[in-house]
Each structure stands twice: as C-alpha cells, then as structure tokens.
Structure 1
Amino acid sequence: MKKEKRQRLIKQFVKEYEIEKQERLVELLAKKDVLVTQATVSRDIRELNLTKVPSQEGLMIYKIFSEEHLQTDIKLKKKLREVVVKIDCVDQLIVIKTLPGNAHVIGVLFDELDWKEKIGCICGNDTCLIISQSKSGREILEERLNLII
C-alpha cells in the first residue's frame, strides 16, 4: 500500500479511536491488511504532525494538531531545547529555570497554546512558574514537557 493511503488510514483511526500507543495503530492497520512496523508508524506520526493530548478520561492520545497550534508547538519545542536549564514539579506547580532573559518567552508560548490544564504562568527573568488546575493536570503538562524535551 502506498504511503499516502496508509497515512490517510492513520488519520482516520486517530479521528475515530483514542489511540494511546503506536502499537495500536500497527494493529488497526493490520486489520486493514496493511502490514507495517512500529518504526514506519512512528515516521508517519511525525510526518502527519500528530501529537499526544489528554483525552476526556485523562489518557494521552494522538490527535491531529492544527496548523496554528503546530507553529506555536514548534516554537515552544525549539525554545525549550535552547534555553531550559532545569524543570522542577511539585503539587500543582511546574517551575522552569531558563537561561537569563528567556523565561517570559516560554510563558508567552505556553499561553498561546491555551492548554486547559494550565491556569496561568508567572515569569521573571530566568524562572517561569506554570500553575495547573490540579496535580493530575500538572502531571499531564509535565508529560507533555517531557515529550517535547
């Protein structure tokens, strides 16, 4: 099967099911007589700009990222990788230590993403405090950060 058709099926599965793991996509594709490896699915996920987001039940599932959010997500990934020194988490709080003069940029990018688990950000020169609605919300945000970095 051609790559385009396989990727079309993957997008269909992501819309229809709550997909937590790449292995699930491999299984669903196999049911359609499309035999691929997890590595192939991983490349397809990257090319399709799929990302993991929390479901209603709190599971991290694949979704198709909108172009607007994709640009912000790319900027956040790039900036986090460039300027983050350390990340600490406790209760409902995430503290991101950055190189001097960069914390506010991280805060602005977080605000643009408008993640529902985040209540707000307070940023200084080299520290960004992200406040979550709950400990479980903080854990979701922490998992997203770990996927990015």
Structure 2
Amino acid sequence: MHKEMRLKIITNLISTQEVKTQEELGNLLHNNGLDVTQATISRDVRELKLIKVPSKDGSQKYSFKIDQDHFISEKLRHKLKDALVSMEVINYFVIIKTLPGHAHSFGALLDSLDLNGKAGTICGNDTCLIICRSPQESERIKQQIEFYQK
C-alpha cells in the first residue's frame, strides 16, 4: 500500500478514536489490512506531526498539532481573562503583570505558542517578561496577545 494511503488511514484513525500508543496504532492498522513495522509507524507519527495531549480519562492520546494550538489558545484566553493585571511594551520587552502566582503559567502558555520575534520569557511570581528580537516585534507580540482577549 502506498505511503499516502497509509497516512490517510492513520489520520482517520487519530481523528475518530483515542489512540494512546504506537502499538495500539499498529494494531488498528493491522485491523485495516496494513502490516507495518514500529519504525514505519514512528516515521509516520513524526511526518504527521502527531503530539500527545490529555485524553478524556486523563491519560495521553495522539492528536494533531492544530488541536494542541487551539487548546493552548483557549487556555491563554481564559488566563488573560482571569489573571491579567496589565501589559506594556518597553523597547525589546513586553511586560505582563498578573495576579500573584500566575506569571509562570502565562510564560508556559506563551512559550507553547509560535510567536515570531520572541526570544524567550522570564517569569517571577506576578510578572512575565517576554524578550523580543526588536522593538517592532515587541509591539506586534503585544497585539497578538491582546487578540486572545477578544
């Protein structure tokens, strides 16, 4: 069977079922008439950019990166609503003030997003500092974050 067909079958399986391991994926492929090696499954998982996300029962399952980006975006939207105190740009930096104890979770969410121009984040208890590659990038990143507030 052609690789494209196998990838299409894997995509369908991941979209319609909770697949938790490569072994489980191999068994499902076998049930669909495909006998593939673990190495092939591993390459297919990498090519499809599958990631592990929490499943309904609390364990991990395979998902698509797009789903994860949506999950992170929703978490950031809620975090901005619940814990943001202020946000300002100073040269190469975006400074986010939060309620006490929330800065690290802001930093983790921001590090998970693909924000072009972000060099990194440093977080304390109530402040998250985003270090940007230029003053223009810091303004743009602030606007991207503000978009999640809407």
TM-score band w.r.t. shorter chain = 0.5 to 0.7
User: What is the aligned length?
Assistant: 85
Q: Deviations over 1:79-105 (max 9, x none)?
A: 111101111111110110100000000
TM-score, with structure 1 as normaliser: 0.54
- Aligned partner of 1:79 in structure 2 is 79
User: Which amino acid counterpart does residue 109 of structure 1 have in structure 2?
Assistant: L
Instruction: Give deviations 1:63-91, integer Å, cap 9, x for gaps.
Output: xx922211111111111111011111111
**Do residues 117 (structure 1) and 113 (structure 2) align?**
no
- Alignment TM-score, normalising by the size of structure 2: 0.54
Following TM superposition, the consecutive aligned residue runs of length 4 or more in structure 1 with deviations greater than 6 angstroms are none
Report the counterpart of residue 137 of structure 1 in structure 2.
137
Mapped partners of 1:117, 1:70: distance in 2: 21
Q: How does 1:19-38 map to 2 (within 5 A)?
A: none
Amino acid in the other structure paired with 1:125: N
The alignment yields a C-alpha RMSD, in angstroms, of: 1.4
Question: Displacement of 1:135 after TM fit?
Answer: 1.2
**Is it true that 1:91 corresponds to 2:91 in the alignment?**
yes
Q: How far off is 1:116 after superposition?
A: 2.3
Q: Give, in angstroms, the shift of residue 138 of structure 1.
A: 1.0
Would you say 1:127 and 2:127 are equivalent positions? Answer: yes
Give the match's secondary structure for 1:143.
helix
- Structure with higher Rg: it is 2
Distance (whole Å) between structure 2 residues aligned to residue 146 and residue 113 of structure 1: 14
Does 2:103 align with 1:103? yes
Correspondence list, 1:12-51, <5 A: none
Structure 1 residues not aligned, in runs of 5+? 1-64
User: What's the % identity of the aligned pairs?
Assistant: 38
